[in-house]
Amino acid sequence: MGLLNTNNFAELSKTMKATQIFDNHGRPINYLRLAVTDRCNLRCFYCMPEEGIKYMPKKELLTFEEIERLVTLMAQMGITKIRLTGGEPFVRKDLMQLIRKIVEIEGIKDVHLTTNGILTAPHIPELKSLGIASVNLSLDTLDRERFRQITRRDEFEKTKGTLKALLDHQIPVKINTVVMEGKNIEDILPLVRLTQDQETSVRFIEEMPFNGEGSHYSSLAWTHKKILEHIKEEFPLLQKIQDPENSTSYNYTVPGFKGNVGIIAAFSRTFCGTCNRIRLTAQGVLKTCLYDDGVLNIRNMMRNGLNDSEIKSHLLKAFSNRPKDGFEAERGRKEKSVSESMSTIGG
């Protein structure tokens, strides 16, 4: 299609059907991270204060019917991959009903999930039968007590059980581990060793200030470079492997290990040049970058009676004004401080 400009919004929105959309920097947009709730059953140190956050009233969240309409509309615009997030997605009742609908939407090729695993295990057989492409499991430690300290809940065994069930059902699983000074540094190497006998990916993520409070540190101690150096000290034969297209992680493997290791420079923001993803919060707010504070309230558009063509036109305009990277997005925020909870953004 080429780059978008303000003169062709209306024409494109009328004729759009399974079209590939590009932003103003030539990056394709084909991946939607969709939050189905802002609620969570954990209180993770890096995500929210111990007392939690103020959740939105249910009426302010997207209904399942609105979500289905939006996914259908975005599939017509070239979105092929959906990741359902939260909050914790399984906190929302009847999530499986929504998943059954989304996997049937024309144009959606891959449906993924991000979960903390506490409520997930009973649904794994059906997730397998529905063809869920992969599950990202939030697991910051392999130690029960450190898990309790980080999440402020004693639910380690349930998350551990979900990991086993996912592997048993041969659902591709990535373990997401936020690296935190003074919290779980001693878990980095044991988590790498987890990939020795299991075909899984462990991804170490730089801590970000999306915790409802702002940055916990004056500067980031554990950058992606330091995490890599720490791993190489124990595993000097660590090898770089090919990164998947549009990957947010730099990926490695230890020779002879079945799985692999990824490192995500989420705070350093080194992967923005190939970013193909947009986010939709549980309140229906579009984010074209993790670090912006919302560029379009699609929920209000739907509830105010806009038709699909009109909504597509607004989406095209938002995509054509996308920031180059997370730093530009942060500078353009209306609320200058980056301190909202990841639970309100969509993990």
What per-residue confidence (pLDDT) applies to 10? 40
Q: What Å distances lie between residue 201 and 89, 173, 178, 194, 260, CA to CA?
A: 21, 7, 14, 9, 5
pLDDT, one tens digit per residue, over 161-178 is 999 999 999 999 999 999
Mean pLDDT of all residues in 178-206 = 96
Average pLDDT, the chain: 91
Q: How confident is the model at residue 128 (pLDDT cuts 50, 70, 90)?
A: very high
The C-alpha angle with vertex 305 and arms to 299 and 306, in degrees rounded to 5, equals: 80
* Cα distance between residue 253 and residue 238, in whole Å: 6
Whether 174 and 137 have beta carbons less than 8 Å apart is answered as yes
Maximum average pLDDT range among 33-47, 199-213, 296-310 = 296-310
Rounded percentage of the chain residues whose pLDDT exceeds 70: 90
What per-residue confidence (pLDDT) applies to 14? 43
Mean pLDDT of all residues in 134-141 = 98
What per-residue confidence (pLDDT) applies to 211? 65
pLDDT, one tens digit per residue, over 300-346 is 999 999 999 999 999 999 999 999 999 999 999 887 677 666 666 76
Contacts of 85 (CB under 8 A, 6+ apart): 33, 34, 35, 36, 113, 114, 346, 347
SS3 210: coil
Go through 240-261 and write b for each residue having 16 or more CB atoms within 10 A of its CB, e for each that does not: eeeeeeeebbbbbbbeebebbb
Extract the tokens encoding 231: 């791993």
Neighbour tally for 302: CB within 10 Å: 20
CA atoms lying within 13 Å on the CB side of residue 286? 25
Residue 84 bridge partners (DSSP): 34, 113
Neighbour tally for 125: CB within 10 Å: 11
Q: At what angle do helices 64-76 and 308-319 cross, to 10 degrees?
A: 60
**The pLDDT of residue 2 is above 50:** no
Q: How confident is the model at residue 347 (pLDDT cuts 50, 70, 90)?
A: low
SS3 156: helix
pLDDT, one tens digit per residue, over 3-21 is 444 444 444 434 444 578 9
Q: Which of 130, 217, 233, 139 is nearest to 182 (CA)?
A: 217
* Cα distance between residue 307 and residue 316, in whole Å: 15
Which amino acid belongs to residue 116?
N
pLDDT, one tens digit per residue, over 265-283 is 998 989 899 999 999 999 9
The domain segmentation of the chain, as residue ranges, is 9-345
9-345 CATH pick, 1.25.10.10, 1.10.260.40, 3.20.20.70, 3.90.226.10: 3.20.20.70
Rounded percentage of the chain residues whose pLDDT exceeds 90: 80
Q: How confident is the model at residue 191 (pLDDT cuts 50, 70, 90)?
A: very high
Dump strand ranges (E) for 69-200. 81-85, 110-115, 134-138, 173-179
What per-residue confidence (pLDDT) applies to 248? 94
Residue in the structure block whose two tokens are 């919004």: 9
* Cα distance between residue 309 and residue 301, in whole Å: 12
Q: How confident is the model at residue 212 (pLDDT cuts 50, 70, 90)?
A: low
DSSP code at position 252: E
Mean pLDDT of all residues in 48-58 = 77
Q: pTM for the complete prediction? A: 0.89
What per-residue confidence (pLDDT) applies to 320? 96
What per-residue confidence (pLDDT) applies to 19? 77
Which amino acid belongs to residue 214?
G
Contacts of 75 (CB under 8 A, 6+ apart): 18, 105, 106, 107, 108
Q: How confident is the model at residue 63 (pLDDT cuts 50, 70, 90)?
A: very high
Task: Name the region of 298 (left: φ>0; alpha: ψ -120 to 50; beta: rest).
Answer: alpha
Extract the tokens encoding 322: 């996308």
**The pLDDT of residue 31 is above 60:** yes
Strand order in the sheet with 239-240: 239-240, 249-253, 260-264, 201-206, 173-179, 134-138, 110-115, 81-85, 31-35, 277-280, 285-287, 296-297
pLDDT, one tens digit per residue, over 226-237 is 999 999 999 999
Q: Which of 146, 133, 223, 221 is nearest to 183 (CA)?
A: 146
